[in-house]
Amino acid sequence: MKTRRWTNPTQPQTLQIAVFLLYINAVFTALLGGIMSPLGLVLVIGQAGAGFGIANEKRWGYWLGVVIATIGLVPFILAIASSGVGSALSFSFLLSLIMPLALFGLLLHQQSREYQRIWFS
């Protein structure tokens, strides 16, 4: 019988932290009213689904996580494009960029990509 798990301690540390960040982002997005809009609801479901898929070593979960991480970076790219690089140097901007950038880096880390290529189905 195949077990379903929310976390997977046998995975590399980069993937374990990415799973936790996906779950944390889903919870905070839901608590801060994200489920009131259709896009927010899709993001919450996508983040939780990606975390669950990665924990269960599913290739679709990994790629969903990469897409969700990329979507998380879009507002920052648009802010830089509209206001210029000077706005990117503000403390609040840099602070809000930490989580999406960390998630993106963890999922695309060499160790994560190699593990996913070998072990995910």
pLDDT of 7-53, one tens digit each?
A: 999 999 999 999 999 999 999 999 988 889 898 899 999 999 999 99
21 vs 112: CA distance, rounded Å: 14
Q: Is the pLDDT of residue 82 over 60?
A: yes
Confidence of residue 1 (pLDDT cuts 50, 70, 90): very low
Residue 117 clears pLDDT 50, i.e. is over it:
yes
d(CA 76, CA 30): 20
Identify which has the larger pLDDT, 77 or 60. Answer: 60
Taking the model in full, what pTM does it have? 0.87
pLDDT at 59 over 50: yes
Q: Report domain extents, the chain.
A: 13-115
What residue has token string 């990469």?
66
Maximum CA extent, the chain: 55
